[in-house]
Amino acid sequence: MITRRPTGQVFLTGLSGAGKSTIGEKLAAQLDREFIDSDALIVTEENLSIRKIFDSMGEERFRAIEAKAIEQIVATGATDAIVALGGGALLSTATRKLIAEKGDLIYLKVTCESAAERLLACDNRPLTLRDNQVLSQADLVKRLQTLLDSRIEGYSAANHVVKVSSRSIDDICQDISNYLKQK
């Protein structure tokens, strides 16, 4: 039996801590596709960390750089890549439209509590800091909820929603793979 290989770019979105990069890498390997992390591309292109771009240039400039990076990803010819987007990439209406035209948007839906737990377990996640001090889990949950509230419009544009809070990476990848095969 021949199984149809899903085609088209797949864009993963969700809050920081949802697992976009981790899941994207594993999914790409399972589907024999290229993996692209938009934040990693920005860091390489700008030769600055995301945090330093925010600190030195501001969020508005970062969002412009991010939109350009996503346009570059779409235009590169990596037509069946798995792409991990930055958590705020969909704040741009133009970016949402471009993604809708070029592929599938999958929202990795994580609770703010789970995202906070995951972020606090990692070193070097700027979102966990305020004035160079690590936030408490409760304060980080509040920060994440504020971000979620501001980004929900973009996330709601997803073609498929995958709840990720209490699931294994393998289970999440299987869910996405099944969705792509059914298209």
Domain boundaries, the chain: 9-166
Q: pLDDT value at position 76?
A: 81
- The ranges of the chain with pLDDT < 50 are 1-5
Tell me the whole-structure pTM to 2 decimals.
0.93
Q: pLDDT value at position 7?
A: 62
CATH number of the structural domain 9-166: 3.40.50.300
Q: Residue 164: which of 103, 118, 123 has the closest Cα?
A: 118
Question: 138-157: per-residue pLDDT in tens?
Answer: 999 999 999 999 999 999 99
* Backbone dihedral region for residue 174 (phi beyond 0: left; psi -120 to 50: alpha; all else: beta): alpha
Question: 113-142: per-residue pLDDT in tens?
Answer: 999 999 999 867 878 888 888 899 999 999
Q: pLDDT value at position 154?
A: 96
Q: pLDDT value at position 133?
A: 86
Q: pLDDT value at position 54?
A: 87
